[in-house]
Amino acid sequence: MTGITEKTTGSGLLNDSINSFVSTSEKYLNVLIEYAKDFSPRLLGAILALWIGFKIIGLLNNVIKRSMEKARIDPMIKAFSLSFISIVLKISVFLSAASMLGFQTTSFVALFTAAGVAVGMSLSGTLQNFAGGIIILTFKLYKIGDYISIGGNEGTVKSIRIFHTIILTPDRKTLIVPNSQISNGTMINFSKEEIRRLDVSIGIGYDSDINFVKNIFMKILESDERILKTDDHNINIFVNELRDSAVLITMRFFVQSENLLKVKWEVYEKVLITCRENNITIPFPTTDIHLYNK
């Protein structure tokens, strides 16, 4: 009888454990079902809000893009503005969806702020370049196609990015310059003004006829249609300096900025040819070597 009682007691404990597990599972399952009933509409609403929000952002970007194209806004400013607006709007949509799910948006704002501070401290140089790009685009220090000089390097601006500017040098090298160096340093924009002054100086011998030389130089300049000949932009030829072995004659005139280098090179070439044809001496440094036999 004792063995039968122990077996019955053990079987009862097992049944109680199973019943307790089933009861607890049913209770948690009911809680999950109730939570799902309450959460599902909010989840679907959040997903729908994200989908509609991103669709609206796409439409707004297209409208803003077309408006900028009609206003003929600089391509780099347009690209940067569209990217910035899109990011801000997407963050706003994301925060709205999170709020619909019951999350506190203030927590996300605090998280983004903390992350922004951390990233800002680690990428201070990058942020300076970003700020420099904003300054360049806002104040239009230069534009694509301008010929500029920065830190001893010069070339044509091919692209203005958010963090750097790409320049193509005359010898076809690609130069990448951080925007902070440009906004905080000295930069020369040769294309900013439509008209540029050009000085071409030639040294002639002291035995040369100054008036004759000035006359033939004037004919060279007057024959070039690219050289401006107005009251405000007239041609001047004068003795600029008396050097040790030469009289420095300077030709001062004005040209369109895009013709500057071509005119300069051609004037030098024509002057050299004309001087040789008219036996005009162009002095150059010489060294005398004396040998003594001992």
Identify the CA nearest to 189 among candidates 245, 217, 148. Answer: 148
How many CB atoms lie under 10 A from the CB of residue 211?
Answer: 7
- Whole-model pTM over 0.85: no
| CATH classification number, 16-116, choose in 1.10.287.1260, 3.30.540.10, 3.10.20.30, 3.40.50.2300 | 1.10.287.1260
Identify the CA nearest to 238 among candidates 223, 253, 256, 259. Answer: 253
Extents of the domains making up the chain: 16-116, 142-189, 195-277
Low-confidence ranges of the chain (pLDDT < 50): 1-8, 122
pLDDT of residue 294: 67
Distance of CA 250 to the CA centre of its chain: 39
Q: Please count the residues of the chain.
A: 294
Three-class secondary structure of residue 217 per DSSP: helix
pLDDT of residue 115: 60
**Region 142-189: CATH code:** 2.30.30.60
The residues near 80 (Cβ < 8 Å, ≥ 6 apart) are 133, 137, 162
pLDDT of residue 76: 61
Q: How far apart are CA 284 and CA 187, in angstroms?
A: 34
| CATH classification number, 195-277, choose in 3.30.450.20, 3.30.70.100, 2.40.37.10, 3.40.1160.10 | 3.30.70.100
